[in-house]
Chain A
Amino acid sequence: KAGVTQTPRYLIKTRGQQVTLSCSPISGHRSVSWYQQTPGQGLQFLFEYFSETQRNKGNFPGRFSGRQFSNSRSEMNVSTLELGDSALYLCASSLSITANNEQFFGPGTRLTVL
């Protein structure tokens, strides 16, 4: 079974631009979560989607948004990019949202903001 895929793998943008990242979960998985990883802040939860609905949202500004499509694929968007948005953005999928559900992470998208 194919794992979680994220596109693009690497991205370079300049301040003020916007960016859209894509995540395709494992086939059959309905939950997709997004995380930001930076050397200073570590791994931080952005948001989670299940059946096209946002279930949880982390403590990030409104410039960060996301959505999930009917095929469970998800996108996240960051508008008005800032230098501090440079990070590895990770997507994780799982079958559902019940307790002890294992999450599978993708390889991430490395975003560099210049």
Chain B
Amino acid sequence: LAKTTQPISMDSYEGQEVNITCSHNNIATNDYITWYQQFPSQGPRFIIQGYKTKVTNEVASLFIPADRKSSTLSLPRVSLSDTAVYYCLVGDRYNAGNMLTFGGGTRLMVKP
């Protein structure tokens, strides 16, 4: 499974756009990129998943360059409730089943 590298922590202010970048140099052809959000004492929550280019849903956008060696999670206009740990995961869901490999995650602190 590809190893991921993310910043340990980030600070932002309410209303700003936050971009969290994840490096995954050894990503394989069949790997998908998935982001999860976790609040203290809760299970992770799926945010978004993509394979290439750009994916957007109601809460975030995911930008993946052509070489797929990195990805950027974009959170528009964050609020205090977006304070959480964000995990980037890379893996072949079919061959690896549902065995997710979590890295250290990025602790996002949103300030008023």
- Which residues does A use to contact B, with CB under 8 Å? 4, 31, 33, 35, 42-45, 48, 50, 55-56, 58, 88, 90-92, 94, 97-108, 110
CB-contacts of B87-112 with A (<8 A):
87, 92-94, 96-105
CA distance A88 to B103 in the complex (A): 17
* B100, A106: Cβ atoms closer than 8 Å: no
User: From residue B54, how far is it (CB to closest CB) to chain A in Å?
Assistant: 16
Instruction: Tell me the total A-B contact number using a CB cutoff of 8 A.
Output: 77
Given A42-B105, A43-B100, 13 further pairs, Cβ under 8 A: A31-B97, A33-B97, A35-B100, A35-B102, A45-B99, A55-B97, A92-B98, A92-B100, A97-B94, A98-B93, A99-B92, A104-B46, A108-B42
User: Can you show 27 pairs from A to B with CB atoms below 8 A apart?
Assistant: A4-B43, A33-B98, A35-B100, A42-B102, A42-B104, A43-B44, A43-B87, A45-B101, A48-B98, A50-B98, A55-B98, A56-B96, A56-B98, A56-B99, A97-B93, A97-B97, A97-B98, A98-B93, A99-B32, A99-B92, A100-B32, A100-B51, A102-B49, A103-B46, A104-B46, A107-B41, A108-B41
Segment 74-94 of B: residues with Cβ below 8 Å from A: 87, 92-94
The interface residues of chain A lying within 8 Å CB-to-CB of B102 are 35, 42-44
Min CB distance A98 to B, Å, is 6
- Please give the distance in Å from B76's CB to the nearest CB on chain A: 21
The A contact surface, by secondary structure, is strand
B45 within 8 A of A: yes
Residues of A within 8 A of B32 (CB): 99-100
Shortest distance from the beta carbon of A25 to any chain B beta carbon, whole Å = 11
CA gap between A15 and B30 in the complex, in Å: 43
- Asked, given contacts A42-B102, A42-B104, A43-B102, whether A90 binds B97 with beta carbons under 8 Å apart, the answer is no
Given A33-B99, A42-B104, A43-B87, are A99 and B43 also a contact pair (CB < 8 Å)?
A: no
* Distance A92 CA – B46 CA, assembled complex (angstroms): 11
Chain B positions within 8 Å of A58 at CB level: 99
Query: Do B93 and A48 touch across chains, with their CB atoms under 8 A apart?
Result: no
Residues of A within 8 A of B51 (CB): 100
